[in-house]
Structure formats: C-alpha cells, structure tokens
Amino acid sequence: MLVFEDQQYTVAELDALADGLAGRLERRGVRAGERVALMSSNRPEFVIAVQALWRLGAAVVLLSPAWKRGEVEHALDITKPAHAVGDHPVLAGLMPMLHLDEPIPAATGVSYAPPDPRSDAVLVFSSGTTGMPKAVRHTHASLAAAVHHWRDALELTADDRIQITTPPSHILGLLNIVTALEAGAWLRLHHRFDLDRMLHHIQLDRVTVEMAVAPIALALASHPKLESYDLSSLRYIMWGATPVTPSVAETVTRRTGVGWVPAYGASELPVIACNPLAGARLDTPGRAVPGVSLRVVSLETGKPVGPDEAGEIEVRAESLMAGYLPADATADAFHDGWYRTGDVGSVDAEGWIRLTDRSKDMIKVRAFQVAPAEIETVLHGHPAVVDCAVFGVPDAADGEAIVAAVSTARPVAAGELIDLVGARLASYKRPSRVEFVTEIPRLPSGKVLRRVLKERHGRTTDS
C-alpha cells in the first residue's frame, strides 16, 4: 500500500497506472536503452513514472527538484536524455516534458518483457561537495542487489510501516521507496519534509521504521515538544548519509526511548555497512553487509593495512555502480578493481568500521592529518552548540589552519570552544579561530558543504 495525503494505492493499482503511463510514454517515442529525465516532487506519480520507464527498458535520470536552471543544464548535458517527465518548470523550460499533473490512464492486460539486467536502470548524481556533480550509473542488476542488501539489513517485511521524507531523487530516497515496495511494506510519501508532520504520522500511522539524515536528527534533538508525540511504534530510527553525532543521537533516545541503527552507503554503492538491529552502536556504521567486500588501504602507499590502521576505505559488490558520466571520471574512482569511497577510517579485527572523515576534507597541519569530524564531535558536546563544521584554510607556517564554523543557541565565547577542543584533543587539533554562523550549509543528505564555508569564511591565516 502506498499512501500520499488522503490518497491510497494498492500494488495492483500502482501496476495498472504504471502500465498506462508506459503506454503513453511508448507512444511518445520512449524506447529501451534510452535515457529519460525525471524531475519531480515526492508524489505517487514519481513512483509510477519510475516503474513505467523500467517497464519500457529505459533508464531514469533523476534530477533534484531543488536544482536551479544551471545545475539542470549541466545534468542534461552529461546524460543527454532523449525525453523528459516531471512536474518542474525548469525541466519543462529546457526540453519537451510529459507533465505528471496530466491524468494517468490505468491499463490492464499489458505485459512487458523484463529489462536486460546489464542495462542502465537509473542515473543519480553524486553529492558534488567538491564541484559539479557526476552522474552515477546503476544497472537493473546493481540496483536489485542494493535493494536486496537493504531489505536484509533493515529486516524489512510486509508488517512494517515506513514514511519517506527525504528527496526521491537522492539514492537513499529511491532505495527506500523501491525496497519498501519490494518488501510489501506500508509506505507513506510526503510532498516535502516537515518535522511536525513526520512526528504526527509516526504516531497516527504507527510507523515502525524511520529514516533520518543529520539535519532531521538535529531537528529531532532540539524539538521542544518531542515528548508529546507517541513514537512507541518505532522499532528503530536509521541514521545514514553521514557519521552519527553521538550527543545528538543520545539526546533523541533519552527523550523518546527509541534507539538508532547507523548505516553506511554511497550513491556509487548504496549499502556498504549497517549495524545489527539488536545491539546497534553509535560509534560505528556497523560491519560490511553480506555481499559487500571491504578493505582499508594506506593513504600514502595504496597498500592494504591491518586491523585498526587508518586509511581509505575501498569496497566491491554486485551493487556497485557501472560507472560515471562523464565516463572519463570512472577510472579515478577505482583502484585495482576496488571502488575508492574517499572515506578515511579503519576496520577492527571483528569487522567493525570506524569512519574518520572524507580524504578530501582532511586538514594537513604540519605533518599531521586532522579529521574535521573528530573536532566536530567535541564541539557538538558543548550545550550551546546547535551545529558545526570544521575546515582548513592555507596557513603560512603550518600548511593549513583549522577553522570551526559554529551555530549556537545562545552566546558563547570563541575562546571557550577552542579551549574545549584543546582539553579533549591534541594541541595541533585546536581551531585557530571560530566563525559564528546562523546555519551550516548542508546538502539534503546532511553532508556539509565545506567548499561553501571556505568561500565565505576561508581567509588565509598569516602566521
């Protein structure tokens, strides 16, 4: 069952509408192997459009409805879709678009050949934290493997009830929708994220599994009336996309009694690791899920390292992407057949993963590599800090200096925050300065846009 506002769709009704839309798209010239741009809000027609295009063997190019014209132009330029479907005026202004507000006729008695498992199913875009995003190509086979991994990791069944508040154009949103439908779970879509509406529907619909990224977790922890909602139906809240901030997660659990299940994935390999549902830990995204191979290699030599040694995490699995567009970006993403996640961390002898930071975000202070996340964890522990992000700027003496961008609930001295870090961490990890900001710029997934902070506050330190 799929629910949206006061509308309900059974699986049979979704199938009939997908068949009807597939027929309309076929008459418009959509053929197997072609790419079709889809730019849509979170609505049932999004799900129906994806299913219709897959029936035709076409690949869906998912465009974020938050994008501006220049971002959409870039995405269209590198993917070159032949057709477009959606509800967004930006896409409609760039190419002929079948509007999802048009009535979709239901069809019965129609059969379509299953798509070639090796053909592209969906193209999603990498987060683009360091530049223009790349398109990530997933085949029907790789996406099916990811769905299988996710369903098993979450132990999702037809008895579960979930809701989707994250953008469907992001890999996590799409994965949650497809996995829920595959498992036969009850599924509510929301047009957009609204925290009180999310909490209201956990209580009203007796939601059993909630998905959260960092901004949602922060909003939950600071909600003044969180205790007024009945969240007892939840088995757990999954934290994905970014490493857990323990102080935030613990605050939510203390106030609601609901525990967290941290997980780890990427657009390129959607499900890498997950905690066990019983005995989940906040200091790790878990162990590699069955079907995913993982290793850690030295940042200096590229050679595999031993347990508890830090390096870049590399992975292999059937759920791995087929490659990027532009295609010339693919080669750099692999090392001896392993996908380079760009994440720095370690794996202990029992397989538990520790994520330190992004390799591109590491700050080099003299001869030391400093992980921003380590400093951010300490700053989050201060009662006045609402959110924070740490980044490096050029420094004449040390190579890079550490800057902390911080938003607070009440005034606090910069020196107090710097001293807090100095009391908990090595002296070279102390920020050289604190920039107070109204909010930390983040992607919808929760990833910090450090390049934006560097542009705004990254003046060089002259030591």
Helix-strand-coil split of the chain, %, nearest 5: 30, 25, 40
Cα–Cα distance between 8 and 144 in angstroms, integer? Answer: 26
pLDDT score at 456? 87
pLDDT score at 463? 44
What is the domain class of 2-115 according to CATH?
A: alpha beta
Closest listed residue to residue 359, CA positions, set 347, 374, 348, 369 = 369
Closest listed residue to residue 162, CA positions, set 149, 146, 151 = 151
Report domain extents, the chain: 2-115, 161-358, 362-457
Q: Does residue 241 surpass a pLDDT of 80?
A: no
CA atoms within 13 A on the CB side of 58: 27
- Under the banding of pLDDT at 50, 70 and 90, the label for residue 130 is very low
Q: Which two tokens stand for residue 417?
A: 């925050």
User: What is the helix (H) or strand (E) element at residue 385, kind and residue range?
Assistant: strand 385-395
Q: What is the mean pLDDT of residues 16-32?
A: 96
Provide DSSP, 244-259. Answer: --HHHHHHHHHHH---
Q: Does residue 350 surpass a pLDDT of 80?
A: yes
3-state secondary structure of 18: helix
In CATH terms, are 2-115 and 362-457 the same topology? no
Lowest mean per-residue pLDDT among 106-115, 327-336, 350-359: 350-359
User: What is the helix (H) or strand (E) element at residue 139, kind and residue range?
Assistant: strand 135-139
Q: What is the mean pLDDT of residues 248-272?
A: 94
Closest listed residue to residue 106, CA positions, set 20, 46, 15 = 20
CATH code, 161-358: 3.40.50.12780
Q: Which two tokens stand for residue 338?
A: 């392993």
Lowest mean per-residue pLDDT among 30-44, 262-276, 305-319, 359-373: 359-373
Name the burial class of residue 128, with classes exposed (0-12), middle (13-18) and buried (19+) by CB atoms within 10 angstroms of its CB.
Answer: middle
Through-space distance between the first and last CA atoms of the chain, rounded to whole angstroms = 62
Q: Does residue 460 surpass a pLDDT of 80?
A: no
pLDDT score at 184? 97
pLDDT score at 369? 66
pLDDT score at 320? 97
- Under the banding of pLDDT at 50, 70 and 90, the label for residue 447 is confident
Amino acid identity of residue 326, one-letter, is P
pLDDT score at 115? 93
Amino acid identity of residue 65, one-letter, is P
Q: What is the mean pLDDT of residues 308-317?
A: 95
pLDDT score at 443? 73
CATH code, 362-457: 3.30.300.30
Q: Does residue 243 surpass a pLDDT of 90?
A: no
84-113 core/surface letters (b: 16 or more CB in 10 A; e: else): bbbbbebbeebeebbebeeebeebeeeebe
For the stretch 363-374, pLDDT in tens is 878 656 677 888
For the stretch 78-126, pLDDT in tens is 999 999 999 999 999 999 999 999 999 999 888 899 999 999 999 998 7
For the stretch 429-445, pLDDT in tens is 899 999 999 999 887 66
Contacts of 207 (CB under 8 A, 6+ apart): 161, 162, 163, 188, 201, 233, 234
pTM of the shown model: 0.81
